[in-house]
Amino acid sequence: MPFTIPAIDNITQPALAARLQHLLDNKTKPQGSLGRIEALAQRIGLILGNESPELQQPQLVVFAGDHGLAARGVSAYPSDVTWQMVENFLTGGAAVSVLARQHGIGLTVVDCGVRHDFAERPGLLIRKVAPGTADALESPAMTPLQCEAALCNGAAVLRGLPGNALLLGEMGIGNTSAASLLMSRLAGLDIVDCTGAGTGLDAQAVQRKLAILRQVLARHPGAQDPLAALAAFGGFEIATMVGAVLQAAQERRVIVVDGFIASAAVLVASALQPAVLQRCVFAHRSGERGHALMLAHLKAEPLLDLGLRLGEGSGAALAWPLLLSACAILREMASFESAGVSRQDEDRAHAATQA
């Protein structure tokens, strides 16, 4: 089944934006005193097209896949950790499992291309394109058909989930390398500025990783457009996430972007359809070297900066309560008029009449 890039409309709505700003300005507080929470409230209101937005049935999806390039030592952990962590997600022991439980967020794990056969069970969707991508130093990580299949899978997964908010998570040993390669190629940045320690490489190992990534970029000089770069550098979990992001954007769900790898998927999706970014809330600035530059390229201002670099969607889950609070402010906070509270300008006017 061929993948068609969905039409994603521009949701800039001046009239609704003005009404949302008026509502925020007239809450019982000095104007702008809730800082970026007010901007967040307006963004969610615009995405959902509602002056009283309510986030319903949030879904955190962890996209998992293995990378052929991992065999070259670009990660501090072996590839087996990918499937072992998927099991950890499913048994509820991972950080993102704990946070999803705490905040009442639905958690789904998608096997996009893990080199392991899982038993089917609740909470797991098996959408395996292949058992891991190819080594991108020898060939494209994915064939065009494999890349297309992963994109289709992501869109289909999203269509099968309820709610109006998607939180992005991922798992895949070696996927910081894929994200660095995508960032370098699509953002036009030197690979050295896009490459960090990933799962915890020491300085010497980072230099080895950097040398390998330079070779991979040189191996695929023609992979310049977003889908060609995605196929060349991988991985299955990133491509599946791109499909889900495009579908979520078309459906006007709020997309909560986690860290470096999730941002790389959004980078690809927004290169295909720029209006994707209007639907995104960036949860945090990660400790991974390239993430700050990635966010700057996307003109994104993250909500948190806690030095996180776990992935899994953990940062998205930690930021989630801020989105709920922003919506509650719009829906529930009293206006000066409804609360019978005098405004500063009214007090000044009253003082002037008494002078």
Catalytic positions are 312
Exposure string over 122-149, b if 16+ CB within 10 A, otherwise e: eebbebbbbebbbbbbeebbbeeebbbb
Plot region of 299 (φ>0 → left; ψ -120 to 50 → alpha; else → beta): left
Q: Which tokens hold the place of 182? A: 């995508």
Distance CA 21, CA 67 (A): 46
Interatomic CA distance for residues 13 and 148, integer angstroms = 33
Token pair listed for 194? 């896009």
How far is the C-alpha of 309 from the C-alpha of 293, rounded, in Å? 15
| Whole-number Å distance between alpha carbons of 151 and 183 | 19
- How far is the C-alpha of 168 from the C-alpha of 248, rounded, in Å? 11
Which string of b and e fits 227-257 if b means at least 16 CB within 10 Å? bbbbbbbbbbbbbbbbbbbbbbbbebbbbbb
Cα–Cα distance measured from residue 183 to residue 188, given in angstroms and rounded to the nearest whole number = 7
Q: Are 304 and 86 in contact, with CB atoms under 8 Å apart? A: no
* Gap between the Cα atoms of 255 and 248, Å rounded: 7
Cβ contact 60:319 at 8 Å: no
Angle at 95 between CA 244 and CA 307, to 5 degrees: 85
